[in-house]
Structure 1
Amino acid sequence: MSRYRMYQVAELTGVAPATLRAWENRYGVVATARTRQNHRLYSEADVATLTRMAELVGQGMSASRAAKQVSLPAASAAIAEPSSPPTSFDLVWAAQTFDPVFLDRVLDGAFAAGELEDVLDGWLMPALADLGKAWGEGRVDVAGEHFVSGAVNRRLSGYFEAARPKGGGPVVVVGLPPRAYHQLAVLAFAVCLRRCGVDVRYLGADVPVEGWVRTVEVLSPAAAVVAVPTAMDVKPAGEVVRELEPMVRVIVGGGAAAAVAERHPVTQLPMSLAGAARDLATQLTAAALVAP
């Protein structure tokens, strides 16, 4: 498959490089690959999409409307073609259009593309990051982000229920601290951990400190995993960790977990959901075997 640099695409489409960058960044018309030096690489399909958009804009159509017209057929075709799995932009498009049929097709195609753990690490997490970036740039509003997140949450919850343990595995409590609401990554981790045979008790988002303490008192789990997705979650996560440290082994994970691990004697999980789940399940199983 041919790949084109930006200057070549500019020559082929008659669109200035600055405009090509704007169309990609603002409207997500194409999702370009990158070289190691972070230069854009365009596929033949990208060139065709940009050529068509240039034609529509040249005919007087607004760039935003042209972007919607050229992107949806391309995204739908990608999902219909088994050899072309959904891209991370598909979630952004679903958030912009509120199209439940399209969103279901995106998720169906993505989760059917490989092993669940590979899909979660290789597609879902990067796709959610792109969705968050689109929200931060104003290309997606809160309602659109919630529309997509709700659908993803339902999918992950289904996988979590399907992985219900048969019994006998170590019990681990998983959740978020008070005022922390970004739960899709930690729910995905809980799915992976449960599929490793661990008896996960998932608490969800915004769990008060006293809720964590009461849960540990009741269950006496092998470990408690506290998610720290963002910098705003560091302080409340620290409050949870401080109360749990004397009671149970505490583990932290997420994008801001390092800030908590620096201040407390806790274990920090690696960023790979599947890798972190496998490592923790192995450690807990080994500890159970040597326990008196």
Structure 2
Amino acid sequence: MTEFAHGLTTGAVARRLGVAPTTLRSWDRRYGIGPAAREDGRHRRWTPEDVAVLHEMCRLTSSGIPPAEAARAALAGPAPAPPTPPAPPTEGEPLPRPARRPGSGNGLPLGAVRQECRGLGRAAVRLDAWAVDDMLASVIAQYGLVTAWEEVMAPTLHAVGRKWETSGDRYVEVEHLLSWHVSSALRRAAGPPPSGSRAGVPPVLLACVPGEQHTLALEALAAGLAELGLPTLMFGPAVPPEALDQAVRRTGPAAVVLWSQARSTANPPLARHVADTVWGVRGARARPAVLPAGPGWAGQSFAPGTLRPGGLRDALALLRGLCDAVAAGQS
């Protein structure tokens, strides 16, 4: 006897699809996507055909299509194969902006964003880990790491964070799930550390200032540097000043990126100390370039010539130039 012999319960279908039972009941009530048969006129029992429609509903909403439109398409059955799409834009070009659609990622404050953000937001709110992972891999492969981060991942993460801040204890699990999968996607995109492409070039040191726990923007930068073949040392969240000082002296980096997400964690004295750190033999001492990065540094005063990247694309361009200059000086 198969599991579908008497149909599946709503709870069993919800577990299969990775969605909440309340979501299935809402889709049934609002859009008519429900079980064909009900046992004793009360209990829902889902057939394989019903579950296939739900699969299609999940796929369409995860791609950013509003639920009402997705429901009509799912109930209508498979659509004919679409024409071959145009070639995707090269790295650096913006994503194509679709026509504005009403609604957002299940109540997330997304605003005027790309359709992919809405789909990613809906999948995250549903705790649909498979769909989140699949969408992240898809946007990176299609549009490149930088565009995927700046126009899909970061806006969705910000929306989830704002929703959490304004909803009490709700949505914490959504932020944690989305952050984990974004981090995993970035590390997959980075691949193994580069070894031979820029041999002899000092590394770029990436660290959060003391008290700062947000690392995803640094992980995106690490992945972008890996694509350029530039060596990096990622030290992650809340690096103590003493540990940062030792890391700089031991590795002699070409540049140090200090990330601060909030103004409460920005530490200008630490940035100045790192910029003044020297190493090497007498007569050939060197200092790192220091890049204060992140919104926490806004409004802070820095020494003339301090580089303040405006985003991931800008940071990669600055760091590539710095590493090229160091390599030229060593040749």
Q: TM-score surpassing 0.5?
A: yes
Q: Does the 8 Å CA contact 2:62/2:120 hold for their aligned counterparts?
A: no
Query: Where do 5+ consecutive residues of structure 1 fail to align?
Result: 1-51, 58-68
Corresponding residue of 1:113: 142
Cα distance 1:246–1:144, how it changes in 2: closer, same or farther (>3 A)? same
Instruction: Find 1:158's aligned residue among 188, 192, 199.
Output: 188
Take 2:167 and 2:271, find their aligned partners in 1: how far apart are those partners?
35
Corresponding residue of 2:296: 256
Take 2:234 and 2:307, find their aligned partners in 1: how far apart are those partners?
18
Corresponding residue of 2:328: 289
Take 1:240 and 1:274, find their aligned partners in 2: how far apart are those partners?
25
Deviation per CA, 1:14-47: give whole Å up to 9, x if none: xxxxxxxxxxxxxxxxxxxxxxxxxxxxxxxxxx
**CA offset at residue 225 of structure 1?**
0.9
**CA offset at residue 143 of structure 1?**
2.1
Cα distance 1:127–1:77, how it changes in 2: closer, same or farther (>3 A)? closer
RMSD: 3.4
Corresponding residue of 1:274: 313
Matches within 5 A, 1:214-225: 214-225=246-257
For 2:201, what is the secondary structure of its paired residue? Answer: coil
Is 1:149–2:123 an aligned residue pair?
A: no
Corresponding residue of 2:46: none
Corresponding residue of 1:104: 133
- Supply the AA of the counterpart residue of 2:182: V
Take 1:259 and 1:209, find their aligned partners in 2: how far apart are those partners?
22
Corresponding residue of 1:126: 155
Corresponding residue of 2:91: none
Take 2:132 and 2:209, find their aligned partners in 1: how far apart are those partners?
30
Is 1:213–2:230 an aligned residue pair?
A: no
Take 1:214 and 1:179, find their aligned partners in 2: how far apart are those partners?
18
Matches within 5 A, 1:222-261: 222-234=254-266, 237-247=267-277, 248-260=288-300
- Supply the AA of the counterpart residue of 1:161: G
Cα distance 1:165–1:129, how it changes in 2: closer, same or farther (>3 A)? farther
Is 1:76–2:59 an aligned residue pair?
A: no
- Supply the AA of the counterpart residue of 1:75: T
Q: Does the 8 Å CA contact 2:194/2:230 hold for their aligned counterparts?
A: no
Rg (Cα) greater in structure: 2
Deviation per CA, 1:157-209: give whole Å up to 9, x if none: 22233452423333111110111011111110121123223211111111111
Q: Does the 8 Å CA contact 1:86/1:110 hold for their aligned counterparts?
A: no
Determine which structure has the larger helix proportion and give its number.
Answer: 1
**Residue-pair matches, total:** 227
Cα distance 1:291–1:190, how it changes in 2: closer, same or farther (>3 A)? same
Take 2:316 and 2:243, find their aligned partners in 1: how far apart are those partners?
24
Take 1:227 and 1:77, find their aligned partners in 2: how far apart are those partners?
32
Is 1:202–2:234 an aligned residue pair?
A: yes
Corresponding residue of 1:56: 30
For 1:204, what is the secondary structure of its paired residue? Answer: coil
Q: Does the 8 Å CA contact 2:255/2:322 hold for their aligned counterparts?
A: no
Task: Normalising by structure 1, report the TM-score.
Answer: 0.66
Take 2:310 and 2:160, find their aligned partners in 1: how far apart are those partners?
19
Take 1:102 and 1:133, find their aligned partners in 2: how far apart are those partners?
22
Cα distance 1:241–1:266, how it changes in 2: closer, same or farther (>3 A)? farther
Q: Does the 8 Å CA contact 1:223/1:249 hold for their aligned counterparts?
A: yes
- Supply the AA of the counterpart residue of 1:154: S
Higher deviation after alignment, 214-223 or 162-171: 162-171
- Supply the AA of the counterpart residue of 1:276: A
Q: Does the 8 Å CA contact 2:201/2:326 hold for their aligned counterparts?
A: no
- Supply the AA of the counterpart residue of 1:202: M
Take 2:318 and 2:275, find their aligned partners in 1: how far apart are those partners?
21
Deviation per CA, 1:235-263: give whole Å up to 9, x if none: xx334314312113321111122334x14
For 2:142, what is the secondary structure of its paired residue? Answer: coil
**CA offset at residue 215 of structure 1?**
0.3
- Sequence identity, in percent? 23
